[in-house]
Amino acid sequence: MIPSIEWIDNKVKMIDQLLLPYELKFLEISDYRKMATAIKDMNIRGAPAIGVAAAMGVALATIEYKNLTKKEFLKKVKDAINTIRNTRPTASNLFWAIDRIWKVIEAAPDEPPEISELAIEEAKIMAQEDINANKSIGKHGAALLKNGDVVLTHCNAGSLATVQYGTALAPIRTAIEQGKKISVIADETRPKLQGATLTAFELQYDKIPVKVISDTSSGLLMKLGKVNKVIVGADRITSDAVFNKIGTYLVALAAKDNNIPFYVAAPTSTLSLHETSEKVKIEERDTKEVSHILGKLCIVPEGVECLNYAFDITPFRLITGIITEDGVFVPKELLKKYKS
């Protein structure tokens, strides 16, 4: 699958994911404000991709302000960072990325033009690190998959949700590269349908067998023995739980009830082990995403209210293992490994 986001000639080229699976079109962004809008409106989405997009957005701001005095430059870039920081509240990669690139900008002894070059370089390094981490997640996760396995996944934690290769879909890609026969069942993932529109698109693009189901079917398919393993992504991993797309918690409960291994795949940039789950803000998005299918067909009687939580909380007790770029960890081991 082609990269979902790239830095080319001081601009950002990204796949417009709102047009998929109907059209594979690219957005070219050179203004940090447009990057903030693309993150908020979900032209680009998925925690690792949001992180890299945010870092590239800050780099664009450094280009815009590099002819100012250093004091003005730092103030303006800080304002740009706050604009990007306020786009979406749950994915920890967003905050990890802007904190990291601000550290580089703030610590640089140079003048604005040189600092801008450093920021651009840092954003590009973060993009490459994301691909490397996903490949490692693929390697560690592929060892969990047996020839013939059917893997269920929820939302899109694939190449489109990262710079490239994906997190939850990485073990599947790697296992197939190793010659194993693996097929995927993708929850459609209401209300934004990332499973039906994005996961199915990229797996079909890579000629990986995939079937799409309604979210409410996953429990039955598990009970009927049609699912061997579950692998999902994560938006934030706290010291007691995993935050991922709404519906993940229900999939985890069904997996537990049917003794099906439930894995979470995520790079360490998604770890937020200094906090516990009750401290985390869960994004509530426009209720029109629920009342309308893809913003078009209204499926709710006029005047009836909707609620639209974008993520839910899966407690560690329902998780078999967490796959990072360093290996596969049962939750307790993950804390030992990464919690300082």
161 binds ligand MRU (CB under 6 A): yes
Structure tokens at 40: 């908020």
Q: How far is CA 194 from CA 111, 162, 201, 214, 275, in A?
A: 43, 14, 10, 12, 28
Q: Which of 122, 149, 188, 235 binds ligand MRU (CB under 6 A)?
A: 235
Residue the block writes with tokens 């009750």: 278
Smallest gap from Cβ 155 to ligand MRU, in A, equals 4
Question: Which window, 64-72, 116-124, 155-163, 223-231, contacts ligand MRU (CB under 6 A)?
Answer: 155-163
Q: By CB under 6 A, what part of segment 15-74 binds ligand MRU?
A: 45-48
Q: Which one is catalytic: 235, 240, 257, 326?
A: 235
Per the CB < 8 A criterion, the answer to whether 220 and 231 are in contact is: no
Question: Which window, 31-39, 103-111, 227-235, 286-294, contacts ligand MRU (CB under 6 A)?
Answer: 227-235
236 binds ligand MRU (CB under 6 A): no
Smallest gap from Cβ 285 to ligand MRU, in A, equals 8
Residue whose CB is less far from ligand MRU, 62 or 244: 244
User: Rounded to an integer, what distance in angstroms lies between the CA atom of residue 183 and that of residue 203?
Assistant: 10
173 binds ligand MRU (CB under 6 A): no
240 is catalytic: no
310 binds ligand MRU (CB under 6 A): yes
The conformational region for residue 327 under phi > 0 = left, psi -120 to 50 = alpha, else beta, is left
Smallest gap from Cβ 265 to ligand MRU, in A, equals 8
Per the CB < 8 A criterion, the answer to whether 153 and 265 are in contact is: no
Query: Any residues with CB less than 8 A from the CB of 261 and at least 6 apart, and which?
Result: 144, 229, 230, 255, 320, 321
251 binds ligand MRU (CB under 6 A): no
Q: Which of 61, 127, 234, 328 binds ligand MRU (CB under 6 A)?
A: 234
Residue the block writes with tokens 């909380």: 313
Q: Which of 92, 159, 167, 174 binds ligand MRU (CB under 6 A)?
A: 167
Smallest gap from Cβ 167 to ligand MRU, in A, equals 4
- On the question of a cis peptide bond just before residue 109, with omega within 30 degrees of 0, the verdict is no
Indicate the residue whose CB is closest to ligand MRU.
233
- On the question of a cis peptide bond just before residue 3, with omega within 30 degrees of 0, the verdict is no
Q: Provide the pairing of β-strand 150-153 with 183-187.
A: parallel
Binding site residues, ligand MRU, CB under 6 A: 45-48, 91, 155, 157, 161-162, 167, 194, 233-235, 244-245, 310
Residues classed as catalytic: 235
